[in-house]
Amino acid sequence: MNETRSRRRQSGRPTVNDVARLAGCSPMTVSRVINGGETVREETRLAVEAAIRQLDYAPNRAARSLAGAVGLRIALLYANPSAAYLSELLIGCMDAASRLDAHLVVERCEPAGDVAKVIARLAASAIDGFLLPPPLCEDAALLARIAEARLPAMLIGPGKALPGQAAVMIDDTRAAQDMTRHLIALGHRRVGFIIGNPAQSASALRLAGFRDAMAQAGLAVDEALIVQGQFTYRSGLDAAAQMLALPQPPTAIFAANDDMAAGCVAAAHRCGIDVPRDLTVCGFDDTALASTIWPELTTIRQPIRQMAEVALDQLVQGIRNVRNGSAPAFGPRPAHVTLDYTLVQRESDAAPCSKLR
């Protein structure tokens, strides 16, 4: 036995005992964390996960298979037109899948398509659960088909919690209120708003937050400055061009996502309007796009990667509960996890030019 331990040390590969020593717990506790056990305190779990990352520890796959921890196949369905949003989402899902030893299957699924065939095919391929980002997280037909297949699903970023569905989200209304208050504090009174995809409840909630903040400040909303978009760059460009052509254009535009805000900046540049000297532009999401265009966008940081990681964590734990016979996937009252957002101020906002106030 001593020789075996010596060979392990000489190999340079960390063991479960190494992880336990670094985390300050027992090897049994490390095993529970690796296998998704529910009896571990949160601070202990975090310490074990930190030790695993620090040591670059790779659990023995054969042993984990015996514990029922491997072999999970999770389908991430998407139909989002924003490449920047999808990139953040995918990175979060891939990081979590690697950590949880789950297999991620990524597939496009259009709401107008034959969702029944998509779900039937994935269910036949031994999919264990689904991750549904917007707009699929609010597609009633898709959710019904998944329920019929008796498979669990985790919703990512729905505008509001849906009965019977587990979800990870932010408070869209409050976030939009905060951004609008920020614009008002800068001195803006004529503020335009570009609405996102009308099929997504987050669009209406962000618009409601904008209207609420304007009303609370005693400011009238010019309906000509409320323009429908689709969460796409092109729709943002067209909406901004429409507003900037008005006899009294806005001094600031708040777009309901970064793609549309980037379109606003492009529309302003086409018109010879300086951002932010002549026009303030703000977005929502804080995808990579927000910090790669010029000027960099002031925006609401929605923690998309973290939302994806938490969603996959919750889904995998739910599936393991079922496999272990300890509980239904999400129980009678599925969890609705609300994460924090941040208003990130960069270079696209400023006080209105004195001649435009």
Residue 147, in any domain of the structure: yes
> What's the pLDDT score for residue 252?
98
> What's the pLDDT score for residue 327?
61
pLDDT category, 224, cuts 50, 70, 90?
A: very high
Interval 86-114: pLDDT, tens: 999 999 999 999 889 899 999 999 887 78
* Residue 20: CB atoms within 10 Å: 18
In this structure, is the dihedral angle defined by the CA atoms of residues 211, 177, 86 and 267, taken in order, positive or negative? positive
Least-confidence region, from 110-114, 218-222, 272-276 = 110-114
> What's the pLDDT score for residue 148?
92
Residues 148 and 285 occupy one common structural domain: no
> What's the pLDDT score for residue 35?
63
Residues 74, 131: Cα–Cα separation, whole Å: 7
Residues near 284 by Cβ (< 8 Å), separated by ≥ 6?
A: 175, 176, 179, 206, 254, 255, 256, 257, 258, 261, 299, 300, 302
Three-state DSSP class for 316? helix
Residues near 217 by Cβ (< 8 Å), separated by ≥ 6?
A: 181, 184
Residue 92, in any domain of the structure: yes
> What's the pLDDT score for residue 332?
53
Is residue 269 pLDDT above 50, yes or no? yes
**Going edge to edge, which strands form the sheet with 342-344?**
226-228, 191-195, 252-255, 280-285, 298-301, 342-344
* The amino acid at 349: D
Residues 62, 289: Cα–Cα separation, whole Å: 42
Residues 205 and 252 occupy one common structural domain: yes
Q: How far is CA 354 from the centre of its chain?
A: 38
Range of the domain at 197: 172-301+343-356
**DSSP class per residue in 327-347:** S-SS-SS--EEE---EEE--S
Interval 15-49: pLDDT, tens: 878 888 999 988 767 877 776 655 678 888 889 88
Residues 87 and 134 occupy one common structural domain: yes
Residue 228, in any domain of the structure: yes
CATH code at position 118: 3.40.50.2300
Interval 49-77: pLDDT, tens: 888 888 888 765 444 444 444 569 999 99
> What's the pLDDT score for residue 283?
98
Token reading at 134: 């917007």
DSSP 352: P
Residues near 31 by Cβ (< 8 Å), separated by ≥ 6?
A: 16, 37, 67
Residues 272 and 307 occupy one common structural domain: no
Q: Phi and psi dihedrals of 191, rounded to 5?
A: -115, 125
pLDDT category, 284, cuts 50, 70, 90?
A: very high
The neighbouring-strand residues paired with 53 are: none
DSSP 254: E
Three-state DSSP class for 292? coil
pLDDT category, 184, cuts 50, 70, 90?
A: very high
Residues 7 and 88 occupy one common structural domain: no
Residues 147 and 286 occupy one common structural domain: no
Interval 140-183: pLDDT, tens: 999 999 999 999 999 999 998 888 899 999 999 999 999 999 99
> What's the pLDDT score for residue 66?
40
Question: What separation in angstroms does the CA of 261 have from each of 5, 27, 32, 98, 109?
Answer: 59, 50, 46, 33, 26
Give the pTM.
0.78
Residues 185 and 269 occupy one common structural domain: yes
Interval 286-338: pLDDT, tens: 999 999 999 999 999 999 999 999 999 999 988 887 777 666 666 556 788 99
Is residue 247 pLDDT above 80, yes or no? yes
Residue 62, in any domain of the structure: no
* The amino acid at 27: P
> What's the pLDDT score for residue 64?
45
Please count the structural domains in the chain. Answer: 3
DSSP 149: T
**Going edge to edge, which strands form the sheet with 166-169?**
103-108, 73-78, 129-132, 153-156, 166-169, 336-338
pLDDT category, 134, cuts 50, 70, 90?
A: very high
Q: What is the mean pLDDT of residues 267-272?
A: 97
Residue 142, in any domain of the structure: yes
Q: How many residues in total does the chain contain?
A: 357
Residues 314 and 272 occupy one common structural domain: no
> What's the pLDDT score for residue 3?
40
> What's the pLDDT score for residue 57?
82
> What's the pLDDT score for residue 181?
98
Residue 61, in any domain of the structure: no
